[in-house]
Chains A and B, each alone.
Chain A
Amino acid sequence: MIRFILLQNRQGKTRLAKYYIPLEESEKHKVEFEFRTHKVIYRRYAGLFFSLCVDITDNELAYLESIHLFVEILDHFFSNVCELDLVFNFHKVYLILDEFILAGELQETSKRAIIERMGELEKLE
């Protein structure tokens, strides 16, 4: 299962942080490659690092693929996403994430389904 997901830029500024297990505040600010007994899978897109902390027995390659799917969804939703989109619309990013991952597990694998769902939610605002 995913323990937490982090999105940071090259300066280390956090753009998104979601924890699926409770962590101490102090722990939230330090991420090592082997975090406790888990592993961190990360992938870089331009200046942004997407990191997932997962169980040691999890499939790294699958999580790499899911990071990519998440990025594609963001890209589609913001049409050519850039860091500033994520900064000013951070609450929407969280909303997308909640449709993609829940309780530390993948919830939906269809890009179209998530984009449609976001459209429906936007209408309710």
Chain B
Amino acid sequence: MNGKDEEKNYMNIVEMTATQLAAAIRTGETTAVEATEAVLARIEEEDKKYNCYVTVDRDGALAQAKKVQAQIETGDLTGPLAGVPVAVKDNICTEGLLTTCSSRILHNFVPTYTAEAVKNLHKAGAVILGKTNMDEFAMGSTTETSAYGPTKNPRNTAHVPGGSSGGSAAAVAAGECIYAIGSDTGGSIRQPASYCGVVGMKPTYGTVSRYGLIAYGSSLDQIGPLTKDVTDCAAVLAALASHDPKDSTSVSREDTDFSTALTEDVKGLRIGIPNDYLGEGLNDEVRTAVLQAADVLKEKGAVVERFDLSLVEYAIPAYYTIAAAEASSNLERFDGIKYGYRTEAYAGLHNMYKKSRSEGFGEEVKRRIMLGSFVLSSGYYDAYYLKALKVKALIKKAFDEAFAKYDLILGPVAPTTAPKLGESLSDPIQMYLGDIYTIAVNLAGLPGISVPCGQDDRGLPIGLQLIGDCFQEKKLLRVAYTYEQHGKKF
């Protein structure tokens, strides 16, 4: 093969979806090794522009690709993702491969074990390309809080890719991986998917094992897929989902054959649009795109109604109280003693803790640790933390009531399209308010999906969010798939 043909072949591969590529590998049109080489070449070419990756594991990926290819040829690997290269968010542990959470404090941390979700991908024949950039410890909505520099939106590099799984979303959009996995604590998969014009899903809490996911807000965190289309999303979610006895919050589910849900059938389905999700602060272009998407579903036979969800305004304070409280405790283990960054000079144990953590953590992480420590401190626990838990329970109740009337809820993912780099960090409160449509889903433990549904006049993508009741991923996938088939293409 001469150089030109090779290049052409690579171009095709990076444009493919995961299920298309796996099919091509199965039929022998290409191989896992060729596919991996193609994606690595794309990373080599493009990543200086976008900074999607913290670590690219070139050698590991090629070795894995060879192994997987052999297993495909012997018929030991037959799944819909076998041989397909994937990018993994840098807060998910990979044995022997640097895992930093995009923080200085874990700049040298190489895990001794692999996260259960990644093990599941291995079983499905995935080839791990490397680890993607993120907001430090998943705290942020822009991937600008990373200690390794911001990721840029491949659709317009003056803009952020969203966050915290910004590296994963941008890598999918830029063809620097075929699909990626991220984590979603308050919208960290759905929002960057929306900003980058890809599909992202946060599964029902407990569907994907958290074992090996470096915790931010333990009661809210879920790992999920970022993909080029809904078909891939279903296949990746099916690979990720498992009951893991090592995670006490893991759920045993029978219905993980998610690809069976990919049918065009929304006739009679009741879809509710919360008025609360269309109110003040919502950008007009986003509103228009979302309502047009609802019209597409209506045309296909769904019953679409507006309703009042209520309590939405309390979701943000409740979320930032609970997530920060859990984070303040989860991040205590980063102390410079056992692994990670330790300050150079110190006088005694206490001073070492103080300096290592002050130097190792970035601004946003320190802000949330302080906020979390405050709401848990004696005398404030009841007023803040307990109250937030009560709000969480009420929000769950409000959703329960909504799902008594509707099969699913439709709305925007974020109030605006991707902001410019540098705009958000100057005003953290404004940044927190940007999570308004995504965080209630985490508080209630529900599944939510973000599907591209338009773009603004600058060409920045807009995402449509569909929210289901617990364990209703199939319904979400069915509606998202139907929309994808009939909505406008971008």
Do A and B assemble together?
no
| Chain B residues near A (Cβ < 8 Å) | none
